Amino acid sequence: MLILFLLLAYGTAVMHNRDPSTWKSIDRLGRIKKSPYKWSEEWLENVPVDHFSFGNKDQFKLRYFINTESYEEGGPIFFYTGNEGNLEGFAENTGFMWDIAPEFHAAVVFAEHRFYGKTKPYGDASYNRTDHLGYLSSEQALADFVLLIDHLRREKLPGAENSPVIAFGGSYGGMLAAWIRIKYPHKVAGAIAASAPVFWFLDSHIPEDTYAKIVTRSFLAAGCNRKAIEKGWLALKNLAGKEAGRAYLNDLFHLEEKSRISSADDHKFLAEFVREVFESMAMVNYPYPSQFLASLPGWPVKV
pLDDT of residue 263: 95
pLDDT of residue 295: 86
Q: Is residue 16 predicted with pLDDT exceeding 90?
A: no
Mean predicted lDDT score pLDDT of the chain: 89
For the chain, the domains span 2-21+208-302, 35-194
Which ranges of the chain would DSSP assign to H, the alpha helix? 2-18, 29-34, 87-92, 95-104, 130-133, 138-151, 172-183, 210-221, 226-240, 243-252, 267-283
Per DSSP bridges, beta strands 165-170 and 77-81 are parallel
Reported confidence tier of residue 202, pLDDT bands at 50, 70, 90: confident
DSSP class of residue 209 equals: T
- The letter for the amino acid at 32 is I
62: closest CA among 78, 77, 51, 54? 51
For 220-261, what is each residue's pLDDT tens digit?
Answer: 999 999 999 999 999 999 999 999 999 999 999 999 999 999
Q: What is the mean pLDDT of residues 197-218?
A: 90
pTM of the complete model? 0.82
Reported confidence tier of residue 291, pLDDT bands at 50, 70, 90: confident
Reported confidence tier of residue 158, pLDDT bands at 50, 70, 90: very high
Reported confidence tier of residue 21, pLDDT bands at 50, 70, 90: very low
31 vs 298: CA distance, rounded Å:
17
Q: Is residue 9 predicted with pLDDT exceeding 80?
A: no
The domain made up of 35-194 has a fold known as Rossmann fold (3.40.50)
For 113-151, what is each residue's pLDDT tens digit?
Answer: 999 999 999 999 999 999 999 999 999 999 999 999 999
User: CATH assignment of 2-21+208-302, given 3.30.1360.120, 2.60.450.10, 3.40.50.800, 1.20.120.980?
Assistant: 1.20.120.980
Q: Is residue 7 predicted with pLDDT exceeding 70?
A: no
pLDDT of residue 290: 84
Chain length of the chain: 303
